[in-house]
Amino acid sequence: VQLQASGGGLVQAGDSLRLSCAASGRTFSNYNMGWFRQAPGKEREFVASISWSGGFAGYADSVKGRFTITRDNAKNTVYLQMNSLNPEDTAVYYCASDLVFSRPYLPVRPAAFGSWGQGTLVTVSS
């Protein structure tokens, strides 16, 4: 599957952004999807994931209550709505597709995801 992330940019603390990730190349609706981020000098970290059906979602503690992951299987797209952004959210954000067909639980480790988008940069100024 090919993934194309978009929607990043430069915003101020407290602002909102919505990231999108368009998928192509295989049946999108049968795979859990995730968002990860990587700040300069840090390891890639889990942000959120959503089940293949869209019925379940999980979040990192650092974004819980501020970020929302959704998907539109008809459009082969997953979204990350980010509210109340702060400078600690500055990173390159990557979308990723689960390795396993219809995995029955939400993965959080990067190794569980087999396809990655190119990343979109989010910069939050204070």
Residue 65's pLDDT is what?
Answer: 97
Residue 28's pLDDT is what?
Answer: 87
Residue 114's pLDDT is what?
Answer: 87
What tens digit of pLDDT does each residue of 25-48 get? 878 889 999 999 999 999 999 999
Residue 92's pLDDT is what?
Answer: 98
Residue 117's pLDDT is what?
Answer: 87
C-alpha to C-alpha distance for 75 and 125, rounded to whole angstroms: 32
The secondary structure of residue 32, as a DSSP letter, is -
The full length of the chain comes to 126
C-alpha to C-alpha distance for 94 and 46, rounded to whole angstroms: 10
Q: Taking CA 77 as the corner, what is the angle to CA 31 and CA 66, rounded to the nearest 5 degrees? A: 95
Q: Confirm if 98 and 3 have CB atoms less than 8 A apart.
A: no
pLDDT beneath 70: ranges in the chain: none
Residue 29's pLDDT is what?
Answer: 87
